[in-house]
Chain A
Amino acid sequence: MDKNTFMKELEQALSVLQKDELKDILSEYEQHIDMKMKSGLTEEEAIADFGSLTELTEDILSAYHVRADYAAPKKKPFQGPEKAKAACIHAGEKAAEGLKSLGAFLASVLAYWKRKIRAPFVWAFGRWKKHKEKGYHMEKQEITTWIPGDVPEDREPQMQNGEKEGGGAVGGMQTGPGRLQGFGRKPDWKKRSVWKAFLNGIEAAFRLMVQAVLWGVRMMWNAGWICFSLFFAVCGVVCLYILGLFVVLLMQDYPLAGVTVGFLGAMLCAFSVAGLGLTFLWRKEKARDIRHGDSGGPDREKDSAQKTEGEQYA
């Protein structure tokens, strides 16, 4: 038996004694072993001179007027650690489970509020986009139906009818103004289409501008949050450094337990605030809208609205 196991077993066997008494008697035995070893014996021999451990502990305990057989059941703590270990593991698992469910709950609450807060914006932007698209569409339709349609073609058949009814000469006379009328109409239409194109151009420019502004805002927002997170991450690292320092000092018996725990808390706080800041980042949402866009349903519509909103800023 080597010294460490001997000391451990002796401590276990004498665990019925008060702390300082135990420490006192153990230090005596330890010193004795050390001196024996200094006089040339090996560790094993020095310990073998004590004889059997049970007799020794009986002797020691009788000196304290403690029944040795009372101490014997105290040996049960040998199995204790197993039980305690299992209990600890069990408790740890339970705690982890509890924390997980708590985290899930908090996440769902946060998600709920995020949705709640976002909803009006999503709705507003959805409306805005729909409105824009509708306007754009209607204009396009107007143009496309206007070009080949109503006015020129409707007029021409009418004129032809007039020609036929009115006879040769009069018809010939009438073709002039009729054609003139037709020619007169065409520049008007052209003017309007140019006007429309001009408007479209302005609108496109405006849209581009809005997008640029949104992009700028997004950049500012993200940069702000990244700076925020970075700041707190740096704070966390500094706290970690100080924590390490204090732990070392604590090991050297400086009374810094409170401050150390404080810095541990500060470090955790700083890191979690940094993490929180990152969750506020405004990210692009990619290509999911293609799959969801077509399918109907109110929920899906909401979803796609959210996405289009995301796209809008992108």
Chain B
Amino acid sequence: MNAQFKKGVLELIVLESVRQRDMYGYELVEEVSKVVDVNEGTIYPLLKRLTNEHYFETYLRESNEGPPRKYYHLTAAGVLYRDLLEKEWNELTEKVGEFLEGCRHG
């Protein structure tokens, strides 16, 4: 898939995944990888950025194996942002779909 496409929707996928339930980094990477084939390394900077912009809160929780894991939780601002992104995404796909459809018939 085009890297530029991926980059755009990655945020939305991540936000939606965390909205379902709190997740830690590796879990999220796996979740996202199911949807789009993405370079795993790029998820972490994204998480970082979303955290810095207060869409995520983080907390540490002990795990049975290894060091404590950092869990991500979606904030109210995160929920609003996710909704905005979803709306934009839907508009975009709708418009692009309409355009492509029009071209095919026209």
A51 at the interface (CB under 8 A from B): yes
Cβ contact within 8 Å between B42 and A59: yes
Cβ contact within 8 Å between B26 and A31: yes
Cβ contact within 8 Å between B42 and A56: yes
Cβ contact within 8 Å between B45 and A50: no
Residue of B nearest to A29 (CB): B44
A64 at the interface (CB under 8 A from B): yes
What is the CB-to-nearest-CB distance from A62 to chain B, in angstroms, rounded to a whole number? 7
Cβ contact within 8 Å between A63 and B39: no
A188 at the interface (CB under 8 A from B): no
What are 28 A-to-B residue pairs whose CB atoms are below 8 Å?
A25-B44, A25-B45, A28-B25, A28-B44, A29-B44, A31-B25, A31-B26, A31-B66, A31-B67, A31-B69, A32-B25, A35-B66, A36-B26, A49-B40, A50-B39, A50-B40, A50-B41, A51-B41, A56-B39, A56-B41, A59-B41, A59-B42, A60-B44, A60-B45, A63-B45, A63-B48, A64-B48, A64-B49
> In the complex, what residues of A have CB within 8 A of residue B42's CB?
56, 59
A34 at the interface (CB under 8 A from B): yes
Which residues from 43 to 78 on chain A have a C-beta closer than 8 Å to any C-beta of chain B? 49-51, 55-56, 59-64
Cβ contact within 8 Å between B45 and A59: yes
Complex CA–CA separation, A29 to B48 (angstroms): 12
Q: How many residues of B contact A (CB 8 A)?
A: 19
Q: How many residues of A contact B (CB 8 A)?
A: 21
Complex CA–CA separation, A61 to B47 (angstroms): 12
Complex CA–CA separation, A85 to B25 (angstroms): 39
Cβ contact within 8 Å between B69 and A63: no
> In the complex, what residues of B have CB within 8 A of residue A50's CB?
39-41
* Given A31-B25, A49-B41: 12 more A-B contacts, CB < 8 Å: A25-B44, A25-B48, A31-B66, A32-B29, A34-B66, A56-B39, A59-B45, A60-B44, A60-B48, A61-B45, A63-B45, A63-B46
Residue of A nearest to B66 (CB): A34
Complex CA–CA separation, A63 to B26 (angstroms): 18
B52 at the interface (CB under 8 A from A): yes
Complex CA–CA separation, A286 to B40 (angstroms): 82
Residue of B nearest to A38 (CB): B65
Complex CA–CA separation, A105 to B44 (angstroms): 62
- Known interface pairs A34-B66, A35-B26, A64-B52; A29-B45 also in contact (CB < 8 Å): no
Complex CA–CA separation, A62 to B29 (angstroms): 19
B70 at the interface (CB under 8 A from A): yes
Complex CA–CA separation, A64 to B49 (angstroms): 6
> In the complex, what residues of B have CB within 8 A of residue A61's CB?
45
Cβ contact within 8 Å between A49 and B66: no
Complex CA–CA separation, A98 to B51 (angstroms): 54
Complex CA–CA separation, A205 to B46 (angstroms): 102
What is the CB-to-nearest-CB distance from A16 to chain B, in angstroms, rounded to a whole number? 14
Complex CA–CA separation, A130 to B91 (angstroms): 120
What is the CB-to-nearest-CB distance from B72 to chain A, in angstroms, rounded to a whole number? 11
Cβ contact within 8 Å between A63 and B49: yes
> In the complex, what residues of A have CB within 8 A of residue B46's CB?
63
List of 7 A-B pairs having minimum Cβ-Cβ separation, nearest first = A50-B41, A63-B45, A63-B49, A60-B45, A56-B41, A35-B26, A59-B45
Residue of B nearest to A21 (CB): B48
What is the CB-to-nearest-CB distance from A18 to chain B, in angstroms, rounded to a whole number? 12
Residue of A nearest to B27 (CB): A35
> In the complex, what residues of A have CB within 8 A of residue B52's CB?
63-64
Cβ contact within 8 Å between B41 and A29: yes
What is the CB-to-nearest-CB distance from B26 to chain A, in angstroms, rounded to a whole number? 5
> In the complex, what residues of B have CB within 8 A of residue A34's CB?
66
